A and B are shown apart, each in its own frame.
Chain A
Amino acid sequence: MELLDRFSDEALWQGFVTEKDRQVLAVLYDRYLTLVYGVCLKYMGDKEEAKDAAMEVFEKLYETSPSQKIEKFRSWLFVVAKNHCLMKLRSKKGIQEKSAHLFMESTEVVHPLDEEETDLTPQLQQCLEQLKMEQKGCVEMFYFNKKTYEEIALKKSIDVKQVKSHIQNGKRNLKLCIESKR
């Protein structure tokens, strides 16, 4: 097991699809169970449902066709987990709208703000000025003043969830603004 721990996700996955060895898959369970459970908990909202969904995700992995090419296991597993939870939610009555909303909040493309060296270009500065006050304040404090969510929440006297929400929404609007100016 320890030997297997040294391999990359992709190498382990390739080993699993070739040999169908569940021991190899178990290493990937260990690596990602917490994250998958966290994602499922976010979408399902209920612990037991999230547990079931997380385990179903890993069962799905076992049934995945070996012919399926997976470039980056981590990103692929995230999409699989998220889609599985959304499918489960969709099977429930009246959940479609909520899940669609949740799906929109997710962003998989690296945002300019998340790049290693965040240069405040004139274009970025111009778009930042166009954000709503709450969004602008939270983004500036997080990316430029290097404050944690909690510190921002304390400073702004708002909830951590609101801080995160303002940052997420601000990032999305910035991205849209930058793309519109290109």
Chain B
Amino acid sequence: MSKPKNDIDPSKSQEEKDLLRYLNEEMSSKEKYAFERKAENDPFLYEAMEGLQDVDVKLLAKDLADMKKKLARSENASFYSFSNVWKIAAVVTLLLVAGFSAWRLTMSPRLEENASAETLAADSSLAINDPAPIEMDETEEQADSAKATTDNTSYQQNLVAESQPVETPKPIADEEKASPQVTGAPVAVADEAELSDEIAVAEETPDLTLADDIEFAQAEESSQGAGLALQETEKKDIATETVPQEVAAPKLSELNAITATDVSSGAAKAKKEADQASQPVARSARIATTTQLATPVAGLESFRRYVTDNQQKTADMVAGEVQLTFSLTSQGAPQNITVSKSLCESCDQEAIWLLQTSGPWKYNDGITGTPLSTITIQISN
């Protein structure tokens, strides 16, 4: 079918086609008269003809097409009517609320953990290290491990503080290499805690005896249960895999042997119990292994405040850490203070002064002799 002249759409109604033909002077005289006669009897058609009589038919076709497009758009636009907009807004709000709730449910345990860690970090200016990391600063890697353990200790200490003094095994040269791994969980936890302690105190203990090891293992087992069992199992695994039997030294092998004996049902039972243990129990076990040997008599909180309030800054100071090693006199005064990790001369002097003037310290119950301790003081400029 050939396209009609003047873009007249063949799909249009006959009346519309006739109208357009009439306006475009395409009708014969007879047709024209019939159409006019019909219009005389149809006011709608008649008035439409009157309105359109001066319009260019080509432009009329375009105008009609435009209007049809607009009407089609307005049909679609009705989807965005007032009531629909409110419906859409309600759905979006519901989705946001549901999404936020899901996010909260997923993230809340981690957030709570981080929040508590951050709170402790903010409050804490003191952390006491366990014996193991003391000698880890021989290499950079060891130092990092020691810091991680230190950091971990700081917030763990806040949880148990002075209320849970537990005997700590003395580090022995060969065991020390394994100890960051032996403590296992704390190293991992240290990363997530990322505590910025101003001070971290590490204790260096004299050589442990086998009896000490046994006592420690038994004490931990009795107090920590399944969590300890997991840790001891890990100790065994790590020692077996990473430390040569000769280098691991008798104390570690003995400790492992004791652990295995004390768990009595063997590693399988220990592992099973560990699997059943909840996260807090596991953390409790880690805390027990890193509990400090000495604390300020006035308490950790008081010591933290003292360090924070009395740190005197000079122009040549730089930000960083100073690590001091010290022991205690019978009156509890820090003595034999040496700088094991220097930052700057002024920084070192300031750290020593703070430790000397902070007040008396005491060894924790069960600690015999005068073991060396290490304290890390954060210097801020």
Contact = CB atoms under 8 A, between A and B. Distances in A.
B68 A167 contact: no
A88 interface: no
What class of interface size applies to chain B in its complex with A?
35 or more
A30 B49 CA distance: 17
Nearest to B52: A38
Contacts of B37: 114, 142
Contacts of A150: 32
B75 A39 contact: no
Nearest to B54: A41
Contact of A29 (B15, B51, B71): B71
A164 B53 CA distance: 12
A107 B32 CA distance: 21
B33 interface: yes
A98 interface: no
Given A34-B64, A37-B63, A58-B71, A42 B48 contact: yes
Interface in B161-179: none
Contacts of A111: 40-41
Contact of A167 (B40, B45, B72, B75): B40
What class of interface size applies to chain A in its complex with B?
35 or more
Contacts of A149: 36
Interface of B: 11-13, 15-16, 19-20, 29, 32-33, 36-37, 40-41, 43-45, 47-53, 55, 60, 63-64, 66-68, 70-72, 74-75, 78
10 contacts: A30-B11, A34-B19, A34-B48, A38-B51, A41-B52, A74-B44, A75-B44, A111-B41, A149-B36, A160-B53
Interface of A: 22, 26, 29-31, 33-43, 47, 50-51, 54-55, 58-59, 62, 74-75, 77-78, 82, 106-108, 110-111, 113-114, 142, 146-151, 160-161, 164, 167, 171
